[in-house]
Chains A and B, each alone.
Chain A
Amino acid sequence: MKKRFFLILLVFITIFAFRFRSEPIFVAPKNWPKTSYDFKKNPLTPNKILLGRALFYDPILSKNNTISCSSCHSQYTAFTHVDHSLSHGIDDRIGNRNSPALTNLAWHTNFMWDGAVNHLDMQALAPINHPSEMGENIKNVVAKLQHSHLYPDLFYQAFNDSIINGERLLKSISQFMLTLVSSNSKYDSVVRGEGMFTSQEERGYLLFKKNCNTCHTEPLFTNLQFENNGLSVDPFLKDYGRFRVSQNPQDSFKFKVPTLRNIEFSYPYMHDGRFKKISEVLNHYVSQKSKVSNLAKELSEPFVLSPNEKVDLTAFLLALTDKHFLFNPSYSYPREVFFGRANGK
């Protein structure tokens, strides 16, 4: 009887040891809001994240194997497409919107500038299928992956069997995207009490809280809502924004409020990339807007900012740059996966 007791005890100890050994992969920064992504339905594991990372960087997702997610979402520019107002796709086709920065996606409830995508898992379907982006379809992508030398192995390591299907493909890409958390800017270190703003940044922070924080709400620097910020309508693109999804006239020309994190590197700005510099963005907000009925109420009167205040505010915005994020090796091109294995075969 005693023997049996010890046996049971041993089993319990082993279970507990395992429980405590595995550290959670995703840790939300302290005092941040709750994440929206349901991790229980897609628990992160290192092998799934690695698979997702390989998929993110692999042009196999596009019709002619030339464009990967990273083509328009490169790490060094906060996972957006620097210097291009509109995203580029296969055969040098030009899309109709500026590619958004991929940051802190676990907190987002809908995706794209107009919120057309309702779940992070389903996001990748849009660029994969868009004729001016990857021009492919997910059924073909799955077939290509099944016939590749690389992926049956990677799927096996991630899922314990080498079945490749749409669900696993999409969830793996989500796994990688969920790890893209930016929370180590100078601003964050000040909030944590580890660093100090310069007096200029401090003045800029006060101006930010007065003028910008309602929509670009801390700590995500977006309220995740859709707003009309009074941009004139581009006669070529004729982009109605959120209206296309909701068919509600009150949503005309509303776009999702983008995060300001890493704004230093995520230029150009706005849904159509019309502004190249932060100064142009600030000039937009201090200028008189046309009186449209659904203009964000915070913008009904233009901001009043002196030239010095604009410089101060810009100094604060630059304190949102997160070098840990921009240069984190675990987000970068997985050379070891593509070359380590391909050569070995």
Chain B
Amino acid sequence: MKVKFLFILLLLFSFRLQAQNKVLPVLLSPVFGEQKLYLGTDWYHIALADSIQIQVLKFYVSKLRLLEKSKVVWQEENSFHLVDLENPTSLKWNLLIPPTITFSQISFDLGIDSITNVSGALGGDLDPTKGMYWTWQSGYINFKLEGFAPSSSANKNEFQFHLGGYQYPFLACKTIILDQINEAGFVIEIDLKKVLVQADLNKVNHIMSPSIEAVKWSHWVQKSFSISPE
């Protein structure tokens, strides 16, 4: 009886050992062209005569997946990450993955999918106290970018882009797939220059609700992600 019991216990432990995950470190690095991006004081040049300052950069990353030859080999459970440039720990993920898998691509959503958007009150990074939920109309804000630019015609030359929308035709959640990632860890760059050179801040300097403009901007942001070559 005792021996049997011990045997089962041993078996369970060996399973546990085998299931021991390894850590995959992933860093997010917001940049502006060649420069590293800092909030607040620094000015970044978009054009010869124009520059910008970033006050807020906050966005959701969800549905993290690793792929090999376009096949999903791992997906994170309950995968919602609020990335906030003001909070350095949110720029560093330690993903727990099985030690045996091989992969060369990462895929994730920029924003929150439609089903989660209609699922009521949620906790953790999705808690409405995080300031990423609209109140006059239900829905998560996928991406927040705020700052100043002399070219903005708004009061105090500010701009505010709150991108979101989970209902057709204003679906703003975008899937991003990045290739050639290193199995030992990698850095994901988000280059805001790629986004802001396309914008006309004189004309559009505020997006505060789901709209065609928000979808267009979400597409620009989607294209600003890449794997850092270093």
Residues of A within 8 A of B (CB): 38, 41-42, 116-122, 125-126, 128-130, 137-139, 142, 165-168, 170-171, 174, 245-247
Contact = CB atoms under 8 A, between A and B. Distances in A.
A138 B128 contact: yes
B100 interface: no
Contacts of B139: 118
A118 B118 contact: yes
A142 B128 CA distance: 11
A167 B131 CA distance: 13
Nearest to B137: A116
Nearest to B122: A167
A245 B137 contact: yes
B129 A174 contact: no
Nearest to A37: B120
B138 A117 contact: yes
B38 interface: no
B211 A41 contact: no
Given A139-B129, A139-B131, A165-B127, A130 B136 contact: yes
Contacts of A137: 135
Contacts of A126: 135-136
Contacts of B133: 122, 125
A46 to B, nearest CB: 20
Interface of B: 117-123, 126-131, 133, 135-139, 167, 170, 211
B121 A117 contact: no
A117 B137 contact: yes
Contacts of B137: 116-117, 245
A122 B129 contact: no
B131 A119 contact: no
Closest 7 CB pairs of A and B: A121-B120, A121-B121, A129-B135, A166-B129, A170-B121, A167-B123, A118-B138
Contact of B120 (A116, A130, A171, A246): A171
Contacts of B211: 247
B121 A171 contact: yes
14 contacts: A41-B119, A41-B120, A118-B138, A122-B120, A122-B128, A122-B138, A125-B128, A129-B136, A137-B135, A138-B129, A142-B129, A167-B127, A170-B128, A174-B121
Contacts of B131: 139
Given A117-B138, A125-B135, A245-B137, A165 B129 contact: yes
Contacts of B127: 165-167
Nearest to A38: B120
Contacts of A245: 137
B131 to A, nearest CB: 7
Nearest to B170: A247
B189 to A, nearest CB: 31
B19 to A, nearest CB: 29
Contact of B138 (A119, A130, A174): A119
Contacts of A38: 120
Which of B123, B126, B127, B131 neighbours the largest number of chain A CB atoms within 10 Å of its CB?
Answer: B127
A212 B126 CA distance: 42
B135 A128 contact: yes
Contacts of B121: 42, 119, 121-122, 166-167, 170-171, 174
A247 B209 CA distance: 11
A69 to B, nearest CB: 15
A44 B123 CA distance: 18
A137 B129 CA distance: 8
